[in-house]
Amino acid sequence: MKMIYILNGPNLNLLGTREPEIYGAETLAMVEEKCTIKAKALGLSIDFRQSNVEGELINWIHEARLKAQGIIINAGAFTHTSVALHDALKGVGLPTIEVHLSNVYKRESFRHHSYISPAAHGVICGFGPHSYELALDGIVSVLNTTRKG
């Protein structure tokens, strides 16, 4: 079974209570449960993690190089600030999908720039928690294309 790391950045542990009008009422545990079900249906296994610490996310990306076939990442606010996450993702060279719960382009202008996007195969945003399930479909597509190519 192909392993996919699903990495979540700062403040996503507050999902369900932090600005529910933007991020929804589902908790991160609920998102993880849905991802586990979706991944199993796609023939994948997942390792779902969250940290408020940039360095920990970088360490997990490095770990994924040896243990996973792909990464789905919601880097939260680090999306807009972290060259280090960009470099880590580029460095490991795994298929990566960037995820955001909200449509970042309908929000503050500082959210319109992503350091993650240039290192990702694709970006999914604006579908709330369902964005993660769409990202799982996306990573399967990337893996199948990479394998055939």
Question: Which of these, 93, 36, 39, lies nearest to 61 by C-alpha position?
Answer: 93
Q: Does residue 84 surpass a pLDDT of 70?
A: yes
Q: Is 23 a catalytic residue?
A: yes
Q: Is 113 a catalytic residue?
A: no
The model's pTM? 0.93
Task: Give per-residue pLDDT as tens, 47-59.
Answer: 999 999 999 999 9
CATH number at residue 20: 3.40.50.9100
- The pLDDT score that the predictor gives to residue 103 is 84
Task: Give per-residue pLDDT as tens, 5-36.
Answer: 999 999 999 998 877 777 778 899 999 999 99
User: Active site residue: 23, 115, 121, 132, which one?
Assistant: 23
User: Active site residue: 100, 115, 121, 132, which one?
Assistant: 100
Structurally, how many domains does the chain consist of? Answer: 1
Task: Give per-residue pLDDT as tens, 113-127.
Answer: 899 999 999 999 999
User: Residue 132 sits in which domain range?
Assistant: 2-148
